[in-house]
Amino acid sequence: MSGTARPHVVVIGGGFAGLEAAFYLRMRLGDRARLTLVSDKDWFLFKPNTIYVPFGLDPERLKIPLDRPARRRDIELVRGAAREINPGARQVVVDGRTLSYDYLIVATGAGMRPEEIPGLGERALTIWSVEDMLRLGRAFQQLLADAQQGRRRQVLFLVPPNNKCSGPLYEMVLMLETWLRRNKVRHQVQITWSTYEAGYIQAFGPRLDQVVSGEFDRRGIPGYKEHVVVRVEKDEVVYQNGRRLPYDLLISFPPYVASTPFPGLPADDRGFLRTELATRQVVGHPEIYAVGDAGDFPIKQAFLAFLQADAAAEHLAASILGKNASLCFDPVSMCVMEQFDKATFAQVPLALTGDQARPVKVRAEDDSLYRVGSSPVWRLGKKLLGLYLPWRFGAGEPFHAGAPWKVMEAGLKVMSRVMAG
């Protein structure tokens, strides 16, 4: 501790994990700590709903300005990018400015490294940023125009190794198929799927694999599992097993890396900070926490980021208050996969395996928590979550805590019991 009356907690990163941690800390600590939030943007992007941008959604509708909720919760907002952490001095450098901290939460997220696959960066469209989604939207409009003029086109989706969250790409392929069908040009477009995974959405177990397999069969989408890409050529993708798949439009979700490396802290070979699973404390640095995509939990997903942020913030708050923490990180993922004509809900209890090829598995002992179901009604659930989160973050409140979340959670539990098994 620095010896100040109020310990200073610095949160670096203005995404899901960073905001959740900052707002949770203020909720738990009141005025017993000074909070600083560092963000390279002055707005938060509700990234899961950028899947709608290629189909016409204005991305400005997904942005939440950070100044108002920060002021409301007495959180100092520092605009800039954190590039250096000095754990010995307990300092973080933000665009040349040095901030001292008593506790630090690292929530700087992940980045993409398409150059790992020769040709991928030059020839594939991706779904990482708003700009990528807008570019994809223009490609979809051209695809539609070509199909309407009677020109047949081939669209290939590609999941390469070291992608840490393939779910949004699965949403995109199913949404595209529905969109083309509704525009009465589906017969003009061949859609093909390829992935390095042994099962579709491999991390989330056999039930998601079955759901996606059924959807691919229903929609006439050939799918290729265990296809490891070697390189991307001008009009075809070459795989390790010798197969070549042609394309006119290639859509991929590239390999993940940490968005910001911090050499003074322990990290894996992709720059993700090594952590204690339950508390999210960085190994060997109990005053530093890594949450969301910045940490080494192998699945990168918004709901898991919330759970990590809550666990870290609760542990940190308990340390300041001299109490025992009331929760730890329990990786039970929850997601709703959009398809335009319906959606699929999944609740998946996960466990680490220690196997680099398949780093997580579904926890067999918690099979009752493993629920998957598809229905048009789940689209309503996704829309409600899309309204609830901006409301909470806009008010400076944590997403996954407090009375409103208990109501939302109760509703999801009822829906999952009725419509998922």
Residue 1, domain member (yes or no) = no
Q: Are 121 and 164 contained in the same domain?
A: yes
- Domain identity same for 315 and 397: yes
Same-domain check for residues 72 and 219: no
From CA 204, how far away is CA 334, in angstroms rounded? Answer: 10
Say what the pLDDT of residue 198 is: 95
Task: Give me the pLDDT at residue 290, please.
Answer: 98
Q: Is residue 2 part of a domain?
A: no
> Do 248 and 295 have their domain in common?
no
Distances from the Cα of 240 to the Cαs of 60, 232, 416, in angstroms?
41, 12, 40
Compute the C-alpha angle 37/288/100, nearest 5°.
55
d(CA 245, CA 235): 9
Domain match, 85 and 132 both: no
Choose one of 239, 255, 271: the last residue of a domain.
255
Q: Please identify, among 255, 277, 303, the residue that sits at the C-terminal boundary of a domain.
A: 255
As given in the structure block, the two tokens for residue 209 are: 């694999």
For residue range 79-136, what is the model confidence (pLDDT) as tens digits?
999 999 999 999 999 999 999 999 999 999 999 999 999 999 999 999 999 999 999 9
Alpha carbon 113 to chain centroid, angstroms: 16
Residues 339, 316 share a domain: yes
| pLDDT in the model for residue 356 | 87
DSSP, residue by residue, 102-117: SEEEE---EEE-GGGS
184 and 323, same domain (yes or no): no
Q: Which residues of the chain are under the pLDDT cut of 50?
A: 1-3
The residue segments making up the domain with residue 199 are 114-255
Query: How does strand 8-12 pair with strand 103-106?
Result: parallel
Sign (positive or negative) of CA dihedral 404, 409, 410, 411: positive
Determine the pLDDT at residue 86: 97
Q: Based on the domain organization, do 204 and 286 belong to the same domain?
A: no
341 & 395 share domain: yes
The pLDDT value recorded for residue 408 is: 75
**Domain boundary, last residue among 230, 255, 280:** 255
Q: What is the CATH number of the domain that holds 320?
A: 3.50.50.100
Regarding whether 404 and 272 lie in a shared domain, the answer is yes
Q: What is the pLDDT of residue 226?
A: 97
pLDDT at 410: 78
* Among the listed residues 229, 222, 219, the one whose alpha carbon sits nearest the alpha carbon of residue 255: 229
- Please name the amino acid found at residue 64: I
- Tell me if 3 is assigned to some domain: no
Distance between CA atoms of 203 and 67, rounded to whole angstroms?
Answer: 37
Question: Considering its fold, how many domains does the chain have in total?
Answer: 2
Which pLDDT does position 414 carry in this prediction?
75
User: Is pTM beyond 0.85 here?
Assistant: yes
Q: CA–CA distance from 290 to each of 258, 260, 287, 295 (Å)? A: 12, 12, 10, 5
The pLDDT score that the predictor gives to residue 50 is: 97
Answer yes or no: do 331 and 298 share one domain. yes
CATH for 251: 3.50.50.60
pLDDT of residue 1: 45
